[in-house]
Structure 1
Amino acid sequence: MNPPDAASFIIAHTALARPPLVPEIELHLATEITPIWQATEAWLAETGIEPPFWAFAWPGSQALARLILDGVVPVAGRRVLDFAAGGGLAAIAAARAGAALVEAAEIDPLALAATRLNATHNRVPVREAEGDVVGAARRWDTVLAGDVCYEAPMTGHIMPWLRRLAADGVEVLLADPGRAYLPREGLVAVARFSVPTTRELEDRDKRDVTVYRVGG
């Protein structure tokens, strides 16, 4: 899927909306899960694209964005990575808060296209981090990871790298809404939020999200 096709697909299957915890930022979001999931499956058969996780403002990303916009996590003048960025909510918050450089890391081309659209709509610069950044040496001051511990293989793949970055002096913040594979050691809670969600995506109307600082 080339970028123009991706942008057209996103615009056709989403609406501009504001996440409940971060009403300052407007994103291209799915209003219902089933239609966009079915539409994406048509692309999946030909392109191998992931399901449309980018089309929803997940609780972890909302919590990180809220902390950044409230100044609890200072990013002004810093180099920031939004890892597994989805539609780029945390990245956009960091750019609005004065980060010197913001990169969004995603392996899904539709997610990267959504991030580009969302950043342009919010009039902030967000760059794409090239390729799979897991294992990359330090080039950021702050790394944001929202809702990433949802599968054992994913957690096992990323956590050693995040811990190495933290040991090298990077501020690594992980926001988790109670996923099963969150590791318990080496995490220090810095904030908690109750984030409204939808039963189309979750098994409850709200998710309690904890933001942790990852230790090296």
Structure 2
Amino acid sequence: MTENEKRVGLDALHQCLHRVLPAVSLRSQSLPNTPQLRLWLLDELFPEQALEPEIVNRIMEEPPYWSFCWASGQVLAEYLMAHPQWVKGRCVVDVGPGSGVVAIAAAMAGARKVIACDLDADALTATRVNALENDVEVMLSQDLDSALAEADLVTAADILYDRENLPLLARFQAAGRVLLADSRVPDLNPRGYRLLGQWQSCTWPDLGESSEYNGVRLFASEPE
């Protein structure tokens, strides 16, 4: 992807964003806990206070979710960069990449190949733009079956806001190794997964969500 293609991608993302928030733009910014990683994210609406409830509702009704870095994505990205042995030399398939933060972290941590898989074309555009921002290569796919066929490791963060995605957890295990981060399902205890730990984080930029969504649990599934 060239710099010109990056500008075209950013233009397309701004057009999509402005349908929900006409006066807001994206800005390239570092993440709080992984400052070496930069993403094009929503610029701050209110630098000194949380968003007004009606704006949060509008975002939740028609979410440009790729314009935020959600808590689970931040935690999983930070974990991969601190524990590169999970990805080094492997093909990593990141499902539901959003801004692309986990896919990019996997590439930065030494993955042999990274595939970001999503049905949402805007999320894939955001991932592509953000990968270029960080000088890494991330392949894009809308075909989950073909992507999983290549995977040595599957990563996913905050995909369970839709309970219909729960059956995916069993499908992921066919790859052998899975890292799953979630802050939306407090009673989550997926079969065949073990809890690695819990971390505190928040959406960036901060949406002012309930503190219950700041606790991120990380699960792993590995071959016996």
TM range (shorter): 0.7 to 0.9
Match of 2:12 among 9, 33, 36: 9
Match of 2:132 among 117, 120, 123: 120
Partner of 2:196: 190
| 1:84-114 deviation digits (Å, cap 9, x = unpaired) | 0011101111111111101101111111111
Distance 1:115 1:137 in 2: 18
Partners of 2:160 and 2:184 within 8 A in 1: no
RMSD, aligned α-carbons: 3.0
Partners of 1:194 and 1:206 within 8 A in 2: no
Q: SS at the partner of 1:149?
A: coil
| 1:144-187 deviation digits (Å, cap 9, x = unpaired) | 1101111221223x12312333xxxx210100114257344322
Partners of 2:9 and 2:129 within 8 A in 1: no
Matches within 5 A, 1:133-212: 133-134=144-145, 137-156=148-167, 158-165=168-175, 170-179=176-185, 182-197=188-203, 200=207, 202-204=209-211, 207-212=214-219
Matches within 5 A, 1:21-100: 21-31=33-43, 32=45, 34=55, 51-71=63-83, 73-100=85-112
TM-score (norm 1): 0.78
Question: Which deviates the most, 103-112 or 9-18?
Answer: 9-18
Question: Can you give the 5+ residue segments of structure 1 that lack an aligned partner in the other structure?
Answer: 42-49
Q: SS at the partner of 1:82?
A: strand
Partners of 2:161 and 2:184 within 8 A in 1: no
Question: Structure 2 counterpart of 1:96, which letter?
Answer: M
Distance 1:78 1:136 in 2: 13
TM-score (norm 2): 0.76
The number of aligned residues is: 198
Distance 1:89 1:60 in 2: 10
Q: SS at the partner of 1:138?
A: helix
Distance 2:163 2:100 in 1: 24
Question: Structure 1 counterpart of 2:178, which letter?
Answer: V
Q: SS at the partner of 1:64?
A: helix
Partner of 1:46: none
Question: Can you give the 5+ residue segments of structure 2 that lack an aligned partner in the other structure?
Answer: 1-5, 16-24, 46-50
Partners of 1:10 and 1:28 within 8 A in 2: no
